[in-house]
Chain A
């Protein structure tokens, strides 16, 4: 008989995920009686904080759930080990998973593997669309502007009653720019080696940036802080269109069960592209021996077809593997379908500093809106500052 081993699993506190994981752990332990898995959760806002305080104190996990945008930082600090090639061959990952998962491939190895992924899509309020006599959700850049203008409603004082298009660059719109608008306009995000920011290398970058800004400064169909934020505005029926992620479906169901809304794929321009993201499970560098073996087994279990199916049904996140996601029962689901249909052409920007890159983007939009800086100047500055983040990151990574 094999020796008993206990491993610790960390993920953030999201009720649906925590309860499901408890059940999954039970299933896993039944299949592997010699392994015990202990789940630990931290509030999402404090996740990094907890990791930063507990890990140096020697209280690390054996399997950890991380946002893909944090991976480069965790990898460059030497906290993680690459997934063992024997259990997770790179070729097989690339064959079975959606291409966006490649964001977890650094220096030729995969460092984490997701159970589920998320994409952004267009949320639209059907009642407000009917009121404005619009039959179909917008499918192109042009239609989106036209519809947003039609849907916008202001009171006698010129104050927003309904935003035609919820406009919050710090929420999802900065993702929409990098992995959606920019590529749809014919631009490129990063160079092959992920060292150079290519936004300004073609006119597409500026065109997409201008398009995004125009909603607030030219068409005036939405702006920051309306009903505090975009998600609240949409939830309360004060925004007709919002670009948001599949992760919002659960909270809309719970908080606004009567909201009459639907989902559509993101509008396209010269091509199609949609931002996606994922939380993935990784193994810390100090996990070895029997614990490592158990951790790998647990990871294999978490990426199995059965678990992916339970995950989409219970949590609402999309299956990460093509053969699981592309089943009719999910593709034909009126809420999940549009998200899944975009997975083939979805992208996940390789963040070297998720909050830093977001702050720079939001600042650039604010320079234009609040300080009257010309769009070209703000854009040039944004690209230069983002490039500096990359230069600093790579300078440090190359040293190690």
Chain B
């Protein structure tokens, strides 16, 4: 027969083997485990490749050969000595400078109009959103067809007595045409974000200002814009990243980023280096440049735009 004392000693001895967790702790472990799965995925598919491309950027590698000799900063100095790369950098900045304000302004205007419209709101929202979900290649080909030298748009211009324009055939106009098509395609997305933001602004602020005699512009300037700030920040960051990474429109709308490299962007240049020239070292170096650019750009935007507004 076992005495009570022995039994309790036995249970005491067993104790260190099991970690007894209360319900709360178990729950947290479960939550963090689940959250960790995507983190692990992120590590494997994003972080490690990024670190790997940092490594490749310091090597000469043509993909097909097994050797990857270390060359230090040669890839970077080679890039900056290359006219096409410098042009692609300048173009990327141009895209950002034209694209972000253009996209935000267009999205905001449509959102404001829709916010104040009572009828057919759902219909217009759908119409403006359609371009966003339309295939880029298809859109690009329609633009090319409309804008070709003897195309529909030039036909209309000539009918109005205006001179025909070269559009995509001219190095001065092509980058703006491409940027405009990108703006047109993303208006719907920006509209949706702004609409949500606008709906989050309590009506009473506007009503109070109205009673105080503030006109529409002043109400927009002092109530809508400041309260929309977090949304504007989000939109600007997303738009900024998309313009810094402009690629698909370039491939399908222009001939090889031309004419005369006028629409060659950084990502397009990276693509050419990596998959047409098989120069993975230089391509990785250019990717590092892009990485630094996006990082700096986003930090800058956070700094400038992220001001807290309270009423």
Contact = CB atoms under 8 A, between A and B. Distances in A.
A49 B275 contact: yes
B278 A48 contact: yes
Contact of B149 (A49, A170, A225, A359): A225
B155 A159 contact: yes
A345 interface: no
Nearest to B144: A228
Interface stretch (A28-36, A250-258, A364-372): A364-372
Contacts of B166: 370
B126 interface: no
Chain B interface residue number, banded: 20 to 34
Contact of B154 (A48, A78, A159, A362): A159
B219 interface: no
Contacts, number: 93
B158 interface: yes
B260 A367 contact: yes
A159 B258 CA distance: 23
A52 B284 CA distance: 14
Interface in B37-65: 62-65
A163 to B, nearest CB: 9
Choose among A79, A160, A223, A370 the residue with the greatest number of B CB atoms under 10 Å from its CB: A370
Interface in B248-296: 255-256, 258-261, 272, 274-278, 280
Interface stretch (B28-36, B168-176, B194-202, B297-305): B168-176
A351 interface: no
A51 B155 CA distance: 44
B64 A79 contact: yes
A228 B258 CA distance: 14
A228 B166 CA distance: 13
B140 to A, nearest CB: 11
Given A52-B63, A77-B64, A363 B258 contact: yes
B164 interface: yes
Given A48-B278, A223-B169, 16 more contacts: A51-B64, A52-B63, A78-B64, A157-B158, A159-B158, A159-B164, A225-B144, A225-B148, A226-B148, A226-B149, A228-B144, A355-B272, A362-B255, A366-B260, A370-B166, A370-B260
**Which 7 A-B residue pairs are closest in the complex by CB-CB distance?**
A79-B64, A77-B64, A157-B158, A159-B150, A49-B275, A77-B65, A77-B62
Interface of B: 62-65, 141, 144-145, 148-150, 154-155, 158, 164, 166, 168-171, 255-256, 258-261, 272, 274-278, 280
